[in-house]
Amino acid sequence: MIPESNFLLHGADYNYEQWLKRKDILEEDLLLMKKSHMNVMTLNVFGWSLLEKEDGVYDFSFLDERIESLHREGIKVILATPSGARPAWLAEKYPEVLRTNSRREKELFGIRHNHCPSSPLYRRKVREMDERLSQRYGSHPAVVMWHISNELGGECHCPLCQENFRSWLKDKYGNLDNLNEAWNTAFWSHTYTSWSQIQSPSPIGEYLVHGQNLDWRRFLSDQYISFMKEEIDAVRKYSPSVPVTTNLMYFFEGIDYVKLAKELDVVSWDNYPRWNAERDSFSVALDTAFFHDRIRSLKGEPFILMESSPSSTNWQNTACLKTPGMHEASALQAVAHGSDSVQYFQWRQSRGCSEMFHGAVLSHNGRSDTRVFSEVSKLGEDLEKLECVKGAETRNKVAIIYDTENAWAIEEIQGYKMNKKNYHETLVSSYAPFYRRGIGVDIVDQSADISSYSLVVAPMLYMVKAGFTDKVKAFIDDGGVFVTTYMSGIVDENDLAFLNGAPGPLEDILGLRVEETDSLPDGRTNRVEMDGRSYINRDISDIVISEGAEVLATYSSSFYKGIPALLKNGNAYYIAFRSDGSLEDDLFSRLSSELSLPSAPFKGEKGVVGVMRGKYMFVFNFSDKDSRFTPDYPMKDLLSGRSVEGEVELEVNGVMVLEME
Amino acid sequence: MIPESNFLLHGADYNYEQWLKRKDILEEDLLLMKKSHMNVMTLNVFGWSLLEKEDGVYDFSFLDERIESLHREGIKVILATPSGARPAWLAEKYPEVLRTNSRREKELFGIRHNHCPSSPLYRRKVREMDERLSQRYGSHPAVVMWHISNELGGECHCPLCQENFRSWLKDKYGNLDNLNEAWNTAFWSHTYTSWSQIQSPSPIGEYLVHGQNLDWRRFLSDQYISFMKEEIDAVRKYSPSVPVTTNLMYFFEGIDYVKLAKELDVVSWDNYPRWNAERDSFSVALDTAFFHDRIRSLKGEPFILMESSPSSTNWQNTACLKTPGMHEASALQAVAHGSDSVQYFQWRQSRGCSEMFHGAVLSHNGRSDTRVFSEVSKLGEDLEKLECVKGAETRNKVAIIYDTENAWAIEEIQGYKMNKKNYHETLVSSYAPFYRRGIGVDIVDQSADISSYSLVVAPMLYMVKAGFTDKVKAFIDDGGVFVTTYMSGIVDENDLAFLNGAPGPLEDILGLRVEETDSLPDGRTNRVEMDGRSYINRDISDIVISEGAEVLATYSSSFYKGIPALLKNGNAYYIAFRSDGSLEDDLFSRLSSELSLPSAPFKGEKGVVGVMRGKYMFVFNFSDKDSRFTPDYPMKDLLSGRSVEGEVELEVNGVMVLEME
Amino acid sequence: MIPESNFLLHGADYNYEQWLKRKDILEEDLLLMKKSHMNVMTLNVFGWSLLEKEDGVYDFSFLDERIESLHREGIKVILATPSGARPAWLAEKYPEVLRTNSRREKELFGIRHNHCPSSPLYRRKVREMDERLSQRYGSHPAVVMWHISNELGGECHCPLCQENFRSWLKDKYGNLDNLNEAWNTAFWSHTYTSWSQIQSPSPIGEYLVHGQNLDWRRFLSDQYISFMKEEIDAVRKYSPSVPVTTNLMYFFEGIDYVKLAKELDVVSWDNYPRWNAERDSFSVALDTAFFHDRIRSLKGEPFILMESSPSSTNWQNTACLKTPGMHEASALQAVAHGSDSVQYFQWRQSRGCSEMFHGAVLSHNGRSDTRVFSEVSKLGEDLEKLECVKGAETRNKVAIIYDTENAWAIEEIQGYKMNKKNYHETLVSSYAPFYRRGIGVDIVDQSADISSYSLVVAPMLYMVKAGFTDKVKAFIDDGGVFVTTYMSGIVDENDLAFLNGAPGPLEDILGLRVEETDSLPDGRTNRVEMDGRSYINRDISDIVISEGAEVLATYSSSFYKGIPALLKNGNAYYIAFRSDGSLEDDLFSRLSSELSLPSAPFKGEKGVVGVMRGKYMFVFNFSDKDSRFTPDYPMKDLLSGRSVEGEVELEVNGVMVLEME
């Protein structure tokens, strides 16, 4: 649920705390926010030191003043709880709040995101702060959203966390016998005979028991969710109707975001694509589109783009500038995929410390006669024209399974091709054929309801969780098409191999079994033939025995020449090898036709991409050169207000928002 | 001494502990072992947790059952002591048994091979376990060998180890004056004035005193040998006649294997070549042959191949499958070089944890209708045909000096070309000319009796130990030919430079001295000329002054153009530079002719290799394509039973075992 | 102030302590020193263990004997204080003297240069030793210089150092409010509310507060200077007139050498160029020349080459030999740039430990009939011919600003192109055009008096310190030409960004502002056009707005095509982009002509370099082949005694020392 406003949010993190001695700058901020068509500011992400200078002594006067000032200008506030960075006095007075790392070194005060998530003391101090914020600002008309902490994640191995881990395990397993079996501790004689023997994984202790590692990651994830829930409860205490979010991160797997999202009213995330850097824009757009879709799919609702850079991103190895127009294209890409906002980190560049060169709306010189300020303002105007897009929903017929626990299990793998596991790359490579064709895709995990889709693709579904197989069976029975690949159906939720071998519980559905899997050294490739076309095979090649499945393609090299490489068993497909993506492109193209999947109504040159949201089609030119496209019928461009008909020129980085009849 | 059976062993590590809840699987194991022509199983490597679930409470019932079951099927047992992996309760109750690493961090319970070798408590617990095993199974008819611990190695820096190190040093040096001189502690003002000042090397303390580092490695090696001896004494207590082994590792230098082997009845090792991966098969065969010969030479007797993978090896970066036939070629290569067994890790793939994807006779699905099972069974049948080979001895006229202490000293070197010391590569490069020509080679260290050889090659003999020079003199006087290279005769056993400069004590034998040594950056090369042929020179170039030696080759580039690069002083040769191996190939070819060294009686295409064991010649096709060879006279192939005469086709990965008249 | 002798020093570190049991060797040393034309030896660098075998028990007899023996032979002594390496007993008895590293691990005894610089105990022990040395040897006629400690540097994070750091901060900031503002601690809510919260930077604590990191480095630098000053006071106690030095290191930035040099009578350094290794000799000569000039400029007086290798340098990855003649060229390069000495580490190779293969005058065999000994002796003779050069001063019209605090700040940068910051490379690249043309350059920092120069070049002057801008204004007003580049004028001394944006306080001088800075990924380049010539642009490209500056060059590619890339505002130039050095070459060539900068009077082929010192011109052939040059008029070569006129052949590595009329 997005704040009840009828406009798209446009705003930034506003770390006014750094400018308290410069009233002139604080004044000027308000003028320039208006000038750049901002309507929201995120406050207080790093505000704790200012609000509570010593234990229990609170002073909200500065924050009061800023919120009032913004409110006077009609600018809304997203109010953050400041738990992401605790004050120095807190760490000094209560060392318990500091983390212990996996080597069991007690960390010192510093950086951010480094509190022990178990610490009862820290939880209490956070709750006390949050309740005060809730009470003071929770019904303020400017405050439109709560922003819980900041980019949650990390790990702590202190004694408190060890105890919590053991409790979590007791709750899960009941007794040690169950745990020993789930973790296969008979391996290497690791059988645990008392709970106290169990510790979190460590490079100077145990790190090769997969079930233990998995449970540790589950525990960590649960612990952050529980920490967040405590904060949510606190802010809701006096502010039950203001929606709550927290900001997620690109391919971050420290927390199971599907579980976390359930606790939030709105999902938001921080998006820092590497535009105009090492790779062509289409490739960057593709990765980013995948993750926007992943974020939207968490709740199946519009989301919030909480952070992005209006310019370069300092922590990237090469801080490249965005070329002209890329800012708008990047921002509207988020909107196209379901965002109801475009927000920046940050409003004004910090004077010092590690993020001082992060792109911001205002750079150190505070000038508004710059290219960046002008592109931001132009975008602000355009967002105003797109008011009608706010809240528009996205409904897709294709789902790709991206499962965090599966990602964890794949990380544990000791085998196959360890230097090229490439789970994320494979997901994106499966997504690309749809993205190229303007076909919308949801990104969900195994817990999702898949019954409404026509096509479900589950690449590298190494871990198959309880219940998923039945769901797939029902889906297929219902006419759905299911595609999976090599390295699927290997282990259960405990990372224990299925004892019928791969593809484990999917064997019947797929009508085949995998006898062996070859891994190819870097530089060695096989070929696969299908319908007279030849595909390259890298990294991984299954040697499959069909148990009824139809063979669509076979290897044409190596000692497994002639062996099936792509199989179809009714509505279930198995891709037995890793290609460069061209096999997926051909297969998904064919399936898209067969299933009449809805696609964006236009034809474009390479690199011109269409994304549908509700009744709007966003068309982007990510081809790095001026290009052309033709809408299937005349449509109105919301940005220019003009009707678009026949072949249209779209300049490099160009974007149009077309209303489909 | 190999177990008194008249057959070659064929078997596997059998970690039945992981399947206790699956009686069906345990039953099926027996059937499939017979089906695959297995005659031995290694048990109890990781059995401690099962046998002693709490301190002093033993339960041997499961092990009893398995041994009896195997015995009923006529399958022998190699019984391991389980000291390689201690139970969690032991680590919890007696933290003393855990290691302290070189940074002085106390390690936690986890993984394996991580007990403190000094801990009196651990030694006692191990002895108590071993004596029980000895008493219970030491005269069981199925038990044919003791397998002490597992892949011994590692280091501990705990206070107990520090004390033991100091005692070891006191025993060695008597007083600090001797120690200070041996370690050259006057360097950097390090003179020790009390024993308590001495600690083991550490990255946060002393690590640049070479003599100290060397002694620490000697101490560690001695400590593991002493640990192993205690275990040997324990198992022999009630089982004096069952032979004892432990499993060694490829180019592992944590222990001086020559010293360790003296304590064993039989040497065994774990062999995991990277077949069909990055390099061509001949190169892999060459490395592996070298190490088989190294292992056989430890006792100069047949050995045991204790572990190998019947399929891919999971911990290698790319887990490539073996191409058809490679399994048999790889297995019989071991036999050709002196193994009386072919054994696998492991019988059945583990369900979970880090080795779950290690190749095994049975994969997770437990099927016997697989390529791997079929190749294993075929090999089992063939091993039965090779019964006569068992116990056959190998007698060679060539020895290469591979000395563990020398390897340690070379690791210490701060100088020359630090990124390309390449001791192992140089050893193998010296071995290659003989291997290509079917000439058998022993791999021995400086302590060996070399009087029976015709040719002794000592590449990079950086450290020359007391007594070795005299031995070489006597050997040459007796007509033997001695070859050494650049970077030889530099330091004594304390890593102190000889004060006559290189080649130190070998100066008289070689008739030359080294004035300077140039190191060549990557990419820069010199040329050397000999008899009109030109050789490339990489990495290292000595500038040599002949003191009587005959000059066989000279540099033809650089400022030392015209300076000797290969010298001969009577029967002693000095190779002054590192080539790409072609110099060694030409020189050893010439010496082989001059010395009429016995070679395998056949002529083959490139990559076809002959290895003699007793009266049998094993011929392998490691050329990666079908190839031909011609035996010097008609012979019988033990595998096919057919006589082989004239040019014979040997398919890729093919092997024949020919009986030489 | 260099010792009052009328000759150039020629000598070596003499670690006689390692040879006490070899009287024969100690005797032979004296003969061979004379034979190789040595006139000075550095003693006692690692002598503590010998002089004080136990706490408070001193024995100077060995040192007495050596100094007397050398004196008898007419060899002078540079006497080191032995604080660089403390005895084992001292570390054992007083653990306080050992360091704690940044992870807060207490280090163990070992290696060298690892004492806590705060430890009052260590300072007392050092002072007691130094005063004894001063008293005993301070007026000995052989002793010509004090050598304080050895290659000072490193860091300690022990409680004593934490306390000292806090005191240092209190002295600097007075109160926490000032500190918090200087460090911008409002960022990430880091505001310190008590001094005790502040700790040194740590990888397990705070490491991203730039101001804190900078102050820690300033503190460390000050602490070593204070440590050194205590030693200087101690040796001067009884020896007020013997000059004092310490040996500095190549591009070492652990200490601000400009500050340190103020405390010394003479500056000395250790020079280990990688001759004849990966790069061509001209490139190595260029780097080395830069650093010789840097060292000379520290006091603007002749300096001492304290260490160099007469052969290869063992700790370099590839220990290449010097080609014939390179030793003399390298040694006289030091003299050309202002050294009054050529000294080696070390006289005789150590028998053991990490430096045993470091090049030395005598190698392990102690022979004097070697190429190295002969080249050293030849150089000794030549140095005697160059007596007149001693004390000759260098006066230059060009200065390059190399500022240690600026280097620290650049290291902190999180932004731009992090993998290619290349401050040192950029300095050398700015120096190269002058070096190629025989134009002398001083290397100074922002604290220097620049009024006597014609041209001041300040590459990457990221941090502009208080006072520097005014100095530059006055310099320009006075007719001086000032050149700076991209990444200049960004931060003040606290690493806080200037709030007018780049180039900060230099905006008026340069007549421009930087709106954005683009960073180019590896492999991507832009082009810049000037006067019809095209330049390549890598890594960094400023987008500049001229505020009055004249545009000399513009970008010809990217979206900032047509934007200024080189600007001139009166006598101030701004280079907006990083080229491959060719832009600097063209610009500085033009400026050299316009300013009539004095250059070495000769014309030479590429790689032939002229360096002026006083009335002497040193000409070097660093072209790696025989080459030619022509002096502008007939001159006398001091080495050959011949007059040189017209075109002259200079063999590879050749050097001439010509007296300019």
Pairing of strands A602-604, A627-631: antiparallel
| A contact test, residue of B102, B279, B318 with most A CBs within 10 A | B318
Alpha-carbon gap, residue A456 to A36, rounded angstroms: 43
3-state SS track over C527-589: EEEECCEEEEEEEEEEEEEECCCEEEEEECCCCCCCCEEEEEECCEEEECEECCCHHHHHHHH
d(CA C414, CA B636): 74
Closest to B602 measured CA to CA, from B588, B620, B584? B620
Test A352 with C518 for CB contact under 8 angstroms.
Answer: no
Residue B425 C-alpha, separation from nearest chain C C-alpha, in angstroms: 18
Q: Which residues pair with C444 in a beta bridge?
A: C401
pTM assigned to the model: 0.97
Just list the catalytic residues of C: 151, 307
Q: Which of C285, C583, C612, C605 has its CA nearest to residue C433?
A: C583
Among the partner-chain residues C88, C351, C353, the one whose CB lies closest to the CB of B193 is C88
Beta-bridged to residue B514, according to DSSP, are B544
Categorize the per-residue pLDDT at A6 as very low, low, confident or very high, splitting at 50, 70 and 90.
confident
On chain A, the residues whose CB falls within 8 A of the CB of B44 are: none
Q: Which two tokens stand for residue C304?
A: 């001492």
pLDDT band at C4 (very low <50, low <70, confident <90, very high): low
Give dist(CA C440, CA B315) in Å, integer.
Answer: 59
Question: Which of B102, B178, B190 best tests the C interface by mutation, with the highest count of C CBs <10 A?
Answer: B190
Extract the residue ranges of chain B whose pLDDT is less than 50.
none
C157, C351, C363: which to substitute to probe chain B, counting the most B Cβ within 10 Å? Answer: C351
Query: For residue A522, which residues of chain B lie inside 8 Å, CB to CB?
Result: 318
Smallest CA–CA distance from C208 into chain A, residue? A354
Using an 8 Å CB-CB cutoff, list chain B residues near C323: 559
Report the C-alpha gap between B592 and B588 in whole angstroms: 6
Instruction: Inspect the interface and report whether the beta carbons of C184 and A18 lie closer than 8 Å.
Output: yes
Among B183, B200, B189, smallest CA distance to C87 is for B189
Separation of alpha carbons C127 and C130, rounded Å: 5
CB-closest option in C49, C350, C370 to B189: C49
Contacting residues of A for C555, CB less than 8 Å apart? none
Contacts of C466 (CB under 8 A, 6+ apart): C492, C493
Dist CA B441 CA B398 (whole Å): 5
Q: Which residues of C537-549 are buried (b: 16+ CB within 10 A; e: fewer)?
A: bbbbbbbbbbeeb
Q: Which of A85, A88, A364 sits opposite C499 (nearest CB)?
A: A364
Is residue A111 left, alpha or beta, with left meaning phi > 0 and alpha meaning psi from -120 to 50? left
Confirm if C351 and C18 have CB atoms less than 8 A apart: yes
Number of A:B CB contacts under 8 A? 174
Determine phi and psi for C495, rounding to 5 degrees.
Answer: 65, 30
Position of tokens 């091979």?
B113
Percent of chain B as helix, strand, coil, to the nearest 5:
35, 20, 45
Q: Do A189 and B364 touch (CB under 8 A)?
A: no
CA distance B153 to chain A (A): 16
Neighboring chain A residues of C495 at a CB cutoff of 8 Å: 352
Please check the confidence at residue C575 and state whether its pLDDT lies above 70.
yes
Closest chain A C-alpha to C215 CA, distance in angstroms:
13
Closest of A123, A134, A156 to residue A44, by C-alpha: A134
Cross-chain Cβ contact A365/C500 below 8 Å = yes
One-letter-per-residue 3-state SS of A87-104: CHHHHHHCHHHECECCCC
Structure confidence by residue, pLDDT tens digits, B166-216: 999 999 999 999 999 999 999 999 999 999 999 999 999 999 999 999 999
- pLDDT confidence bin for A1, thresholds 50/70/90: low
Distance from CA of B475 to the nearest CA of C (A): 27
| Polymer length of chain B | 661
d(CA C528, CA B237): 85
Closest of B365, B350, C640 to residue A505, by C-alpha: B365
Residues of B in contact with C50 (CB under 8 A): 186, 189, 191
Instruction: Let me know: does C248 contact C224? Beta carbons within 8 Å.
Output: no
CA distance C433 to chain A (A): 29
Taking the C-alpha atoms of residue C233 and residue C263, their distance in angstroms, rounded to an integer, is 10
For residue C500, the chain A residues in CB contact (below 8 A) are: 364-365
Q: Is the model's pLDDT at C5 over the cut of 60?
A: yes
Active site residue A605: no
pLDDT of residue B313: 96
ipTM above 0.90, yes or no: yes
Enumerate the β-bridge partners of residue A573.
A483, A568
| Residue among B82, B112, B365 minimizing CB distance to A499 | B365
C3 pLDDT more than 70:
no
C173-201: pLDDT as tens digits: 999 999 999 999 999 999 999 999 999 99
Contact B193 C87 (CB under 8 A): yes
Residue B270: name the closest of B42, B66, B440, B442 by CA.
Answer: B42
A188:B85 CB<8 A: yes
CB C307 within 8 A of CB C13: yes
Residue pairs between chains B and C whose CB atoms are closer than 8 Å: 174
- Find chains touching chain C: ≥3 CB pairs under 8 Å: A, B
Q: Is the peptide bond before C521 cis (omega within 30 degrees of 0)?
A: no
Determine the residue among C18, C89, C323, C354 to mutate to test chain B binding: the one whose Cβ has the most chain B Cβ atoms within 10 Å: C354
Q: What pLDDT was estimated at residue C661?
A: 76
Q: Tell me what the pLDDT averaged over chain A comes to.
A: 97
Two tokens, residue C519: 């960073």
Chain C, nearest residue to B413 by Cα: C354
Note the pLDDT tens digit of each residue in B576-631. Answer: 999 999 999 999 999 999 999 999 999 999 999 999 999 999 999 999 999 999 99
Angle subtended by helix axes C326-336 and C371-385, to nearest 10: 30
High-pLDDT (> 70) share of chain C, %: 99
Tokens standing for residue C425: 């490379």
Task: Identify which of C321, C353, C366 has the shortest CB distance to residue B187.
Answer: C353
Tokens of A176: 């040690």
* Spatial distance between the Cα atoms of B94 and B119, rounded to a whole number of angstroms: 10
Q: Indicate whether C545 pLDDT > 90.
A: yes
Contact A364 C501 (CB under 8 A): yes
- Nearest C-alpha of chain C: how many angstroms from B297? 32
Q: What is the pLDDT of residue B488?
A: 98
Contact C524, C420 (CB under 8 A): no
Judge whether residue A661 has pLDDT over 90.
no
Amino acid at A550: E
- Maximum Cα interatomic distance, chain C, rounded to a whole number of Å: 76
Q: Note the pLDDT of residue C1.
A: 52
- Judged by CB atoms closer than 8 Å, whether chains meet at A92 and C498 is answered as no
- Interface chains of chain B (3 or more CB pairs under 8 Å): A, C
Taking alpha carbons only, the member of B444, B398, B485, B435 closest to residue B283 is B435
pLDDT band of residue A113 (cuts 50, 70, 90) is: confident
pLDDT tens figures, B631-647: 999 999 999 999 999 99
What is the predicted pLDDT for the residue at B1? 53
Q: Which residues of B touch A520 (CB under 8 A)?
A: 318, 320
Q: Which of A151, A231, A301, A412 is catalytic?
A: A151
Contacts of B321 in chain A (CB under 8 A): 516-519, 543
Secondary structure letter of residue A362 according to DSSP: B
Between the CA of residue A341 and those of A189, A269, A380, B404, C288, what are the distances in Å?
54, 11, 11, 67, 56
Which residue among A205, A500, A516 places its CB closest to the CB of B108? Answer: A205
User: Assign residue A208 a region: left if phi > 0, alpha if psi is -120 to 50, beta otherwise?
Assistant: alpha
Residue B661 has a pLDDT of 75
Sheet holding A304-307, edge to edge: A247-249, A268-270, A304-307
Does residue C637 contact residue C629 with C-beta atoms inside 8 Å? Answer: no
CB contact under 8 A, C206 and A351: no
Mean pLDDT (whole number) for C25-46: 98
Catalytic residues of B: 151, 307
With contacts defined as CB-CB under 8 Å, which chain C residues touch B513? 365
pLDDT band, very low/low/confident/very high, at A3 (cuts 50, 70, 90): low
Report whether C508 contacts C499 (CB < 8 A).
no
Q: Residues B597, B601, B607, B613: is their CA dihedral positive or negative?
A: negative
Q: Which residues pair with C637 in a beta bridge?
A: C658
Cβ(B417)–Cβ(C319) below 8 Å: yes
Cα-trace Rg, chain A? 26
pLDDT tens column, A390-425: 999 999 999 999 999 999 999 999 999 999 999 999
Position C114 confidence tier, pLDDT thresholds 50, 70, 90: confident
Q: Cβ of B111 and A210 within 8 Å? A: no
> Span A171-196, mean pLDDT?
97
Grouping H, G, I as helix, E, B as strand and the rest as coil, residue B623 is coil
pLDDT of residue C602 exceeding 90:
yes
